[in-house]
Amino acid sequence: MNTHTYPRLVGDIGGTNARFAWVAQPGEAPADMAVYPVRSLPTLADAIRRYLADQGKPPPRWCAIGIANPITGDQVRMTNHDWSFSISALRRELGLERLLLVNDFTALALSLPALAGEDLRQVGPGAPAPDAALAVIGPGTGLGVSGLLPAPSGREWVPLNGEGGHVTLPAQDAREAAVVARLHERFGHASAERAVSGQGLENLYQVLCQLDGVPPRALDAPAIADDAKAGRDPQCMEALALFCAFLGSVAGNLALTLGARGGVYIGGGIVPRLGEAFDRSAFRVRFESKGRFTGYLRAIPTYVVQARAPALLGAARALDVLPDPPFVR
């Protein structure tokens, strides 16, 4: 074992929160987790220093960060937050021997084989096919998408890096087409993330109020979800219904694209909080509604990920299974 690479710091950085945890030695699960609002700290380096100081930790040797952003070069500029940094400069600034950055949903994907029992809640029918691809999708501040493909050896998994949350949003009827048209007018491109995310739920509510000629209230996503579940507001109720239906359509497309007969996993911070309201929604019907491939999709299980900070587990695993990208200096 590479004991000289410990202790290790792992992180999960989204558009709202930064989570960190500590791996002291080989074989240990991430521990001593702490959460910080990203807007409370000016840089990622400041957030890491804050965690180390709060926890009384020494400088780590290796560090892996899952971040809600594509990693295509040394320079990282977050899509849903204003942090911007050079990976190589951050590594030198913090005195790290190794710093690995991956997309946050790539990290989440790497955690999937270790999740079971209370970590997951199945929605709808289906059973996982052995040695088949896994897919993961999750609305939070944005919409994350990834997957795991079985390696030819059958003993390892290959994670995918992509930005599937920005695929074009599909409409299934005239009402949805009107919503998508308004989103297109507003943003130039009606991506899935514009409807299936925290901001997306707010967008849906505002568009529905506009279509219905109702003045929108100043509601954030949690308030819209609460009013919808309580049946207090028709536009909130329809917004949440559309959110779940659109997620089902996009998740079904993802399952077909990857051949994800091993299961589709729903992560992110929103769906686990919806509870039975999500189970009763049109998600699963829309997931399966693919014409001639309805039977194919009906056999695929869908799970809500309920584990606490699973992306930290995936980030820890990334240090052992992923190489450094060629642009790291």
Q: Who's near 197: CB < 8 A, 6+ residues apart? A: 139, 140, 141, 142, 143, 165, 270
DSSP notation for 148-199: EEE-TTSS-EEE----GGGSBPP--SHHHHHHHHHHHHHHSS-BGGGTSSHH
- 87 known ligand binder: no
Question: Taking the chain, what is the end-to-end CA distance rounded to the nearest angstrom?
Answer: 25
How far apart (Å, rounded) are the C-alpha atoms in residues 147 and 168? 19
- 144 known ligand binder: no
Q: 284 vs 34, 120, 140, 191, 300, CA distance in Å?
A: 34, 16, 19, 21, 11
- 198 known ligand binder: no
| Rg (the chain; Cα; Å) | 20
Q: Which H or E run contains 244?
A: helix 234-258
Sign of the Cα pseudo-torsion (196, 199, 200, 205, in order): positive
Is 99 in contact with 45 (CB distance < 8 Å)? Answer: no
How far apart (Å, rounded) are the C-alpha atoms in residues 226 and 262? 33
- 13 known ligand binder: yes
Where is the binding site, in residues? 11-16
Where is the binding site for ATP, in residues? 11-16
